[in-house]
């Protein structure tokens, strides 16, 4: 199958799955709203973290243990089951079962049955189901850790690692459960509930926007502009490059920004007869930090924003000042550690300067102008769309469509430019993280962190920021962030004063800034190192660590101070 066809199939698949899910949401809403008449037993089930338990089987058993009525809990954990009048003889038992929880039974006494007999309703007290550690629990946990390890050691493609993870969960749930029900994790339908389609469509829309913009030469022109206004003085050049990279990364993804900035930066460095890394390292660090400022700046922010319902404007207001402070601290840091390289640089020859100018020309000025107008429109919708319930994913799709209609590039080429492997990675990642959520592992982690921080909001904020930073340095920050979202939600509900999404902002700061700590901490680092290596300037893991880890400490410290000040 050609990539084009594969892309088309995946689009259809994604849209099909999205609409396949819609009726179940509508059904839930309908059930919740429907008035239940006749003798009714209702209740709400929660897990040990007070989160609603969905899809639990609720059966009403007669004296002979034969079921006389049954239902399932809704997304809010509620259930209401109508008991047929002819079965209301003596005693009734409510039997509740859910994989990964201990089953529960509630015996209705004579008075309660009498209430039902008169056509009344009986509501069970809110009940917290106890978790049960099954074989599926261990398989889901090992699968998640294994997926992180495969991504970290880079022996498997990220998408393949996530696919293998999702496949392992299904093998356990279907083949394993056929042998022993303890292997069950979740069924396919349930796994689809964990896929955040808003994230998928937002990333897809932004990829199309980027595909249109990236061929315009704007990045190369901006880098050359930095060279011109700094007059080739490296200490000033690096600051201008950092600002450009940070701003670009706030609106486009970091990998694209660095893919396009690295080649021209290498050329500028070579023209100045200096090693490119004293320019590249500040750029990539600024890229990772700059992305934090907006909802669309990093994949982790997209995950956080979609999960917690944080708007574009909210990210901008709450995190941009911290990002600016961190960039200022970084600017000082790079001036100190690269001072000798900057001092030893020489002026570029007129021939090389001319070559730089030619290489940095805007190739599609008319397209760029149109993209600028569409980008402005998207920014306005991102900022104010929340007031009309316009989700960012729709804004991204509208922007992508507007660009394709107005500029009319080769549509197939643009669609091919969508990185389908990344989208499949996200879908499978959501399933694997859903697996550990389903079996209760995330609940245990949340409980553990909850015990450590108690009700201390400051401690929680500092812990989440630094845990996020350290973990993102060691393992891929996207799966880590995806797994931490329910944990942070739990802590936000439990700790007094944690409203306002402050703990989610702490996760955003930690996860993105932590990526600066090591070569494998962020995809942008790997891409930059890959290009630099290809032009003869490789960097080792240890050398990156020597320069990146202090940068991480500096930025995370500044980020933490900002969060503590802001909240």
Task: Identify which of residues 365 and 454 has a Cβ nearer to other proteins in the complex.
Answer: 365
* Shortest Å distance, C-beta 550 to other proteins: 7
Task: Identify which of residues 251 and 562 has a Cβ nearer to other proteins in the complex.
Answer: 251
Binding site for other proteins (CB under 8 A): 157-159, 207, 211, 214-215, 220, 255-256, 259-260, 263-264, 266-267, 270-271, 274-275, 277-278, 337-341, 344, 349, 351-352, 355-356, 359, 416-422, 523, 526-527, 530-531, 533-540, 542-543, 546-547, 550
Task: Identify which of residues 85 and 411 has a Cβ nearer to other proteins in the complex.
Answer: 411
> What backbone phi and psi angles, to 5 degrees, belong to 44?
-135, 135
* Shortest Å distance, C-beta 406 to other proteins: 20
* Shortest Å distance, C-beta 282 to other proteins: 12
Q: Is residue 476 classed as helix, strand or coil in its secondary structure?
A: coil
Which residue from 150, 141, 151, 116 is spatially nearest to 41, judged by alpha carbons? 116
Cα torsion through 378, 381, 384, 385, rounded to 10:
-150
Cβ proximity of 107 and 91 under 8 Å? yes
Task: Identify which of residues 102 and 357 has a Cβ nearer to other proteins in the complex.
Answer: 357
- Give dist(CA 474, CA 436) in Å, integer: 20
Cβ proximity of 502 and 541 under 8 Å? no
What sign has the CA pseudo-torsion 513, 143, 448, 194? positive
- Using CA atoms, how far residue 302 sits from 61, 291, 312, 389, 485, in Å, is 46, 11, 10, 17, 12
* Shortest Å distance, C-beta 474 to other proteins: 20
Please state, as a whole number, how many other Cβ atoms lie within 10 Å of the Cβ of residue 162: 28
Task: Identify which of residues 280 and 503 has a Cβ nearer to other proteins in the complex.
Answer: 280
What sign has the CA pseudo-torsion 19, 21, 24, 29? negative
* Shortest Å distance, C-beta 223 to other proteins: 11
> What backbone phi and psi angles, to 5 degrees, belong to 196?
-90, 95
Cβ proximity of 412 and 221 under 8 Å? no
* Shortest Å distance, C-beta 522 to other proteins: 11
Task: Identify which of residues 220 and 318 has a Cβ nearer to other proteins in the complex.
Answer: 220
Q: Is residue 57 classed as helix, strand or coil in its secondary structure?
A: strand
* Shortest Å distance, C-beta 252 to other proteins: 12
Task: Identify which of residues 210 and 381 has a Cβ nearer to other proteins in the complex.
Answer: 210
* Shortest Å distance, C-beta 373 to other proteins: 22
Task: Identify which of residues 278 and 521 has a Cβ nearer to other proteins in the complex.
Answer: 278
């Amino acid at each position: 199958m050609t990539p084009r066809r594969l892309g088309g199939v995946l689009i259809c698949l994604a849209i099909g799955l999205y609409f396949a899910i819609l009726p179940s949401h509508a059904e839930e809403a309908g059930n919740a709203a429907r008035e239940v008449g006749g003798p009714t037993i209702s209740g709400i089930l929660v897990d040990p973290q007070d989160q609603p338990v969905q899809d639990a089987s609720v059966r009403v058993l007669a004296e002979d243990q034969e079921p006389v009525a049954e239902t399932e809990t809704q997304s809010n954990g509620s259930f209401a089951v109508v008991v047929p009048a002819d079965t209301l003889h003596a005693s009734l038992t409510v039997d509740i079962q859910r994989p990964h929880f201990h089953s529960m039974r509630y015996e209705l006494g004579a008075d309660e049955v009498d209430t039902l007999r008169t056509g009344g309703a009986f509501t069970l007290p809110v009940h917290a189901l106890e978790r049960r550690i099954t074989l599926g629990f261990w398989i889901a946990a090992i699968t998640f850790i294994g997926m992180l390890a495969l991504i970290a050691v880079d022996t498997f493609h990220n998408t393949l690692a996530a696919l293998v993870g999702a496949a392992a969960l299904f093998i356990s749930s279907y083949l394993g459960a056929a042998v022993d029900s303890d292997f069950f994790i979740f069924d396919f339908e349930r796994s689809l509930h964990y896929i955040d389609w808003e994230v998928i469509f937002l990333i897809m829309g932004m990829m199309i926007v980027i595909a249109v913009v990236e061929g315009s030469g704007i990045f190369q022109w901006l880098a050359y502009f930095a060279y011109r206004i700094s007059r080739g003085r490296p200490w000033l050049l690096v600051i201008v490059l950092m600002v450009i990279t940070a701003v670009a990364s706030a609106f486009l993804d970091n990998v694209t920004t660095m893919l396009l900035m690295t080649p021209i930066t290498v050329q500028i460095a070579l023209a100045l007869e200096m090693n490119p890394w004293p320019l590249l390292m500040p750029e990539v660090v600024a890229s990772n930090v700059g992305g934090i400022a907006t909802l669309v700046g990093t994949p982790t922010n997209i995950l956080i924003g979609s999960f917690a319902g944080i708007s574009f404007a909210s990210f901008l207001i709450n995190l941009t000042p911290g990002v600016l402070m961190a960039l200022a601290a970084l600017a000082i840091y790079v001036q100190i550690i690269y001072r000798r390289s900057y001092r030893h640089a020489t002026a570029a020859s007129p021939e090389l300067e001319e070559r730089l100018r030619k290489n940095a020309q805007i190739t599609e000025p008319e397209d760029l102008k149109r993209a600028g107008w569409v980008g402005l429109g998207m920014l306005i919708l991102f900022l104010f769309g929340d007031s009309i319930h316009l989700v960012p994913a729709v804004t991204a799709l509208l922007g992508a469509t507007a660009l394709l209609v107005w500029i009319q590039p080769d549509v197939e080429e643009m669609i091919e430019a969508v990185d389908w492997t990344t989208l499949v990675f996200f879908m499978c990642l959501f399933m694997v993280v859903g697996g550990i959520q389903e079996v209760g592992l995330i609940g245990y982690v949340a409980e553990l962190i909850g015990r450590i921080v108690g009700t201390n909001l400051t401690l929680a904020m500092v812990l989440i920021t630094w845990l996020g930073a350290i973990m993102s340095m060691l393992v891929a920050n996207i799966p880590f962030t995806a797994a931490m979202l329910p944990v942070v939600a739990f802590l936000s509900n439990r700790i007094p004063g944690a409203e306002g999404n402050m703990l989610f902002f702490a996760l955003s700061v930690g996860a993105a800034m932590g990526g600066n700590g090591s070569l494998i901490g962020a995809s942008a680092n790997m891409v930059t190192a890959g290009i630099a290596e290809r032009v003869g300037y490789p960097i080792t893991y240890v050398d990156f660590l020597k320069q990146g880890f202090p940068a991480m400490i500096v930025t995370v410290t500044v980020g933490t101070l900002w969060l503590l000040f802001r909240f």
